[in-house]
A and B are shown apart, each in its own frame.
Chain A
Amino acid sequence: MKNAEEIFELLKQEFGDSILSIDKDTPTEPIISVEPLKIHIVSKFLRDNPELQFDSLMCLSGVDDANGKKVKDAEGYDVIEGGTLSVYYHLYSTVLRHKITLKVSAPREDAKVESVENVWKCADWHEREAFDMVGIVFVNHPDLRRILMPYDWEENSFPLRKDFKVPEFYQGMKIPY
């Protein structure tokens, strides 16, 4: 069983700059930040290393950080510019019984994160949901399409974003009533 700092040290030795920081002070769990396009090799290392053996991905969540600037767009609605979209990975080792949380932040306008689908198959549908709800594009995902919203929902409309505006019409039906 290792705790978060030891895991952070191990990762820092292996990967150096891709591992950005560890946040130990906010309640309730320490979070290690990783670069978005390096998350795949880091995950592979976490799964295969005999001291770590993180063989199960508990949860993968897409979050809209809403830490950009609020501006008003053409119709007077609030739109957020700048800032990041994040993905949180919660990993667990059934063999060694330890947990860790990873965080990946990508810029809002062009959010690209590497897919970990071939490390843990569980991530397949979770990444599709993160793409569907928040708009994060996962590079190298075999089948990235919407999962919960209908397939013909508007292209750039992502419901869980903080500045989401409900579209007026869907297939001829008026939505807000």
Chain B
Amino acid sequence: MALKTETMVLNMGPQHPSTHGVLRLELELDGELIVNVKPHLGYLHRCFEKHAEAMQYNQVIPYTDRMDYLASMGNNFGYVLAVEKLLGIQVPERVEYIRVIMAELQRIASHCVALGTNGADIGALTPFLYLFRDREYILSIIEETCGARMLYNYMWVGGLSHDIHPNFVRRTKEFTSYFKNTIVELDNLLSYNKIFIERTANIGILPADTAINYGATGPMLRGSGVKFDLRKDDTYSIYNRFDFDIPVGKGLQGSVGDSWDRYYVRVREMEQSLRIIEQAIDQIPEGDVHSAIPKRIKPPKGTVYSRVENPRGELGYFIISDGNTNPFRVKVRAPSFVNLEILGELCKGHLVADVIAILGSIDIVLGEVDR
């Protein structure tokens, strides 16, 4: 006579040390095997899109910071590029170079957090602190320039809020030479650690065509072997002047598209960002960062969709303007929102402990998922 069994419903609730923010995962378990995962969102919904309709175009920028609070420069960049496309203005060269350098510094800082928390969830608590120590370096460089450590409000429509500090070039060069050692240290301590590989290789395998169909972008897509990066394939700003590679997951420690590949892509991306910064920092031309900032932003009637490569994926802004000083509709296509849909697919057949590993490798920020 067969035993009557039922699945157990476990709530990885809104408050949990490893869901990165307030995310509620409803797990249906059969012992320790996952049968179903249902994410419930909305705990951090702050009505960004409704706010944006009530303010002028340049007043929206501090609100864009707060969506993906770990990559604020990228958020600003995307919005500002969209509005400049709508207005049809061209920014000075100096502004372009500084924007690219800031965006790449921000990418390194964001990946530090992502990799640190990925390791900390799996149990390696020390690389987390080493990476945060180095992220402090970046934050202090940016603080010297614009006064804020995390939510910058730095990129304005047509220019920047402040010109770079005189120490910026020297400190950034010191940082690039110092950070290479950190990546070596991270590789020694965590990347090729047998226990870490056992925990992440062959876990959460995402095939390439599923990834494209689900709309995954950023390291999630590149970890599955698809060589697609917006900075090279749909290029914006002045990224086409720099020489850098796109790291792709090759299944070195398991299969292509598992959690280790996504982790590996992020580590190698940090190296490539260092390359871009080294090339750009020597070429900053002279100029005035405030010269192209318009007095009144009143774009013509129309729509624009512009996207940038944020550390977490493709951040898109869809702005509809009806000729007023306030936008008619701002829709944000947040990368973490789209990447989180795939969690249900990836977790089937794994254990509870793997959900944490997979969630860490997807790298979500709840501010962006809920906006």
Contact = CB atoms under 8 A, between A and B. Distances in A.
A in complex with B: yes
Interface of A: 26-29, 31, 55-59, 61, 63-64, 88, 90, 94, 97, 101, 120-122, 124-126, 133, 146-150, 159-160
Given A122-B214, A148-B41, A58 B303 contact: no
B301 A58 contact: no
Contact of A160 (B49, B215, B302, B304): B49
Contact of A149 (B42, B215, B314): B42
A63 B338 contact: no
Interface range on chain B (Cβ under 8 Å from partner):
35 or more
A94 B213 contact: no
Interface string B316-360: 101010000000010101000110110000000000000000000
B186 to A, nearest CB: 31
Interface in B283-319: 300-305, 307, 314, 316, 318
A50 B60 CA distance: 41
Given A59-B316, A61-B329, A31 B50 contact: no
A63 B329 contact: yes
30 contacts: A26-B302, A27-B300, A27-B304, A28-B86, A28-B302, A28-B303, A29-B303, A55-B212, A56-B212, A56-B215, A57-B215, A58-B215, A59-B331, A61-B318, A61-B331, A88-B303, A90-B318, A94-B212, A101-B305, A121-B341, A122-B214, A125-B338, A125-B341, A146-B42, A148-B41, A148-B370, A148-B371, A150-B42, A159-B47, A160-B50
A88 B318 contact: yes
A24 to B, nearest CB: 12
Contact of A94 (B88, B228, B340): B228
A56 B228 CA distance: 12
Contacts, number: 89
B349 to A, nearest CB: 19
B211 to A, nearest CB: 10
Contacts of A160: 49-50
A27 B329 contact: no
Interface in B207-240: 210, 212-215, 226, 228, 233-234
A96 B333 CA distance: 22
Nearest to A153: B42
A150 to B, nearest CB: 7
Contacts of B210: 121
B180 to A, nearest CB: 32
B94 interface: no
Q: Which 3 A-B pairs have the closest CB atoms?
A: A122-B215, A27-B302, A61-B331
B228 A29 contact: no
Contacts of A150: 42
Contacts of A58: 215, 305, 307, 314, 316, 333
Given A97-B233, A120-B215, A149-B42, A59 B305 contact: yes
Given A58-B333, A59-B333, A160-B50, A29 B304 contact: yes
B113 to A, nearest CB: 24
Contacts of B314: 58
